[in-house]
Structure 1
Amino acid sequence: MLVQAGFRLFGADGEAALTVRAVCREAELHTRYFYESFADTGALLAAVYDQQAAALGDVLAGALATAGLGPESRVRAGIRSVLRFISDDPRRGRVLFADTVSTRRREAETALLESLIASSGARSPSLSMRVAATMFTGAMTELARQWADGRLGDDLDAVVDSAVELSLALQSTRR
């Protein structure tokens, strides 16, 4: 209940809204319960981030599991699912891209990078493969951030089409 209250408050009004009293009022709990679960609001925000990152991971995994085997369908499914996740509830983007969770976000980006490399099936990934995965991870993070901030317009299909086209063009230059 505290994590959901933290999500609602932070997602709506940012870090300034995330006080112990406000969270407890939102969750309809005594402050004692807050301090039994979290050391401070930073720890609560970390839990809120972890919850949203896990939900995004589940959505992404589901999209990739149902995508075709070809690179275009997998890239399209992945990009669309990430951007749709943020579009469906803009509070998610506020949480996932908050400066106060930058360490956690960096860990999540590193995990994504490692999973991209692992999914290639290469036993010993080349430097080129590691660089490409690093660039894709960074580009996807910034694409999602720009989408969340509304800087790419509101046409999800157009953004996905452009991102897929560019991603596939970069992949083809590596061959």
Structure 2
Amino acid sequence: MRNILAMNDTASTQPASATERTYSGVAISERAAYRRQRFIDAGIILFGNEGFQATTIRKLTAQTGLTNRYFYESFQDMEDLLIACYETLMSDFREQLQAELDTASESPEKRIRAGLTCFFNAMSKPEFARITHSEVLGVSPRVEAVYSRYTADFAELLMGYLSPTGTSVSTSDNTQREYVGAALAGAVINAGIVWVRSRYAVSLEEIVDATLTVFLGTANLLQR
């Protein structure tokens, strides 16, 4: 989870625009962004531990030390905050995954293993697992649409594991590519959910090895 250091009222890390109002040397927009991030950090803690339905504005303001007014400065409602928390977690995960792949071996198997290890490392954090694969489900069509978009993006990324440097995916059929990617994403996500619900009954290495077989089998079939 991202953390923002407590803001110093007498200094700013970035200069304010010449036309922007400041307070004690800090731009108003910067203060608003800082407050918004505090609510996101608090939302991740509360949604991840107590759940979306159990989290109230009162709990959020108690967690942040900020007032209702500041909450509505950045978010329309609790659903809006849930989406922001989800997108923050998924964006952080995507950055971590990209960093892993950038330094991974060119061997397709090792790249796939690196990607799976990154995913299950993220799932080993209960707040990430609960918010990204439980709390966002069944809230509203709007939240479901955000989840579906990120899941489709994840599926496309997984298909990319099967084609980098050395593993050629033979299919150019966009429909097949979409559904194979969705099947892989579903397999990985469901394996992660089972792992979380078991309270991490097997090691990280064991869950990675188990899901790796699905990828390698798929890669072999697509190369025929």
**What's the TM-score bracket when you normalise by the shorter of the two chains?**
0.7 to 0.9
- Which residue of structure 2 lines up, in the alignment, with residue 45 of structure 1? 82
Q: TM-score, normalised by structure 2?
A: 0.70
Q: TM-score, normalised by structure 1?
A: 0.88
- Which residue of structure 2 lines up, in the alignment, with residue 159 of structure 1? 207
Contact 1:117 1:125 in 2 (8 A): no
Contact 2:158 2:184 in 1 (8 A): no
CA gap 1:116/1:158 in 2 versus in 1, 3 angstroms: closer
- Which residue of structure 1 lines up, in the alignment, with residue 43 of structure 2? 6
Q: Which moved more, 1:141-150 or 1:52-61?
A: 141-150
* 1:9 to partner: Cα distance: 0.8
In structure 2, which of residues 181, 198, 209 is the aligned counterpart of residue 133 of structure 1?
Answer: 181
Q: Structure 1, residues 79-136: CA drift from partner, whole Å, max 9, x if none?
A: 111001121x2111011012134332211011223344567488x9324433322221
* 1:32 is aligned to 2:79: no
- Which residue of structure 2 lines up, in the alignment, with residue 95 of structure 1? 131
Aligned with 2:53: secondary structure?
Answer: helix
- Which residue of structure 2 lines up, in the alignment, with residue 107 of structure 1? 149
- Kindly report the root-mean-square deviation, in angstroms, between the aligned alpha carbons of the 2 structures: 2.2
Q: Write the distance in 2 (CA, Å) between the matches of 1:8 and 1:53.
A: 15
In structure 2, which of residues 121, 139, 160 is the aligned counterpart of residue 84 of structure 1?
Answer: 121
Give 1 or 2: higher helix fraction: 1
* 1:62 is aligned to 2:99: yes
Q: Write the distance in 2 (CA, Å) between the matches of 1:67 and 1:111.
A: 21
In structure 2, which of residues 50, 54, 57 is the aligned counterpart of residue 20 of structure 1?
Answer: 57
Q: Structure 1, residues 52-86: CA drift from partner, whole Å, max 9, x if none?
A: 01111111111111111121111101111100112
Higher relative contact order (CA 8 A, sep 6+): 1
**Count of residues in correspondence between the two structures:** 173
CA gap 1:25/1:151 in 2 versus in 1, 3 angstroms: closer
- Which residue of structure 1 lines up, in the alignment, with residue 17 of structure 2? none
Q: Which moved more, 1:62-71 or 1:132-141?
A: 132-141
Q: Write the distance in 1 (CA, Å) between the matches of 2:60 and 2:120.
A: 28
Q: Write the distance in 2 (CA, Å) between the matches of 1:148 and 1:2.
A: 26
Residue identity opposite 2:130 in structure 1: R
Aligned with 1:85: secondary structure?
Answer: helix
Contact 1:10 1:18 in 2 (8 A): yes
Q: Unpaired segments of 5 or more residues in structure 1?
A: none
